[in-house]
Amino acid sequence: MDTPDLSHLFLVDHSFVINAGNIAEALSNLHYLICMDAADPVKVRSYSDQIGERVRALGVLLHSILPEQAKLLGAKVPSTPRI
């Protein structure tokens, strides 16, 4: 059975991987800080706000790669991403 070569779908820009890794590391560090400072609601709130910022940044980053992957599949890509 011949399987189509889909390896081209998994090529990701180096800067994308670096940015995603940085965001994941920041989220992990903020989770750790929340655990360590659980008794301090002011710090926990600050960390939580920062997590929200990082999650939004991750969403933007992920949406930025979707049009490129869709083009590789031959799909029509809307001019503005749906959020």
Domain boundaries, the chain: 12-72
Helix intervals (H) in 4-40: 14-36
- Report the pLDDT value the prediction gives residue 45, as an integer from 0 to 100: 98
22 Cα distance to chain centroid:
10
Map tokens 């929200």 to a residue.
Answer: 52
- Report the pLDDT value the prediction gives residue 69, as an integer from 0 to 100: 62
12-62 pLDDT, tens digit per residue, is: 677 888 999 999 999 999 999 999 999 999 999 999 999 999 999 999 888
Residue 56 to residues 3, 8, 53, 61, Cα–Cα distance (Å) = 37, 27, 5, 9
4 pLDDT tier (thresholds 50, 70, 90): confident
Whole-structure pTM value:
0.67
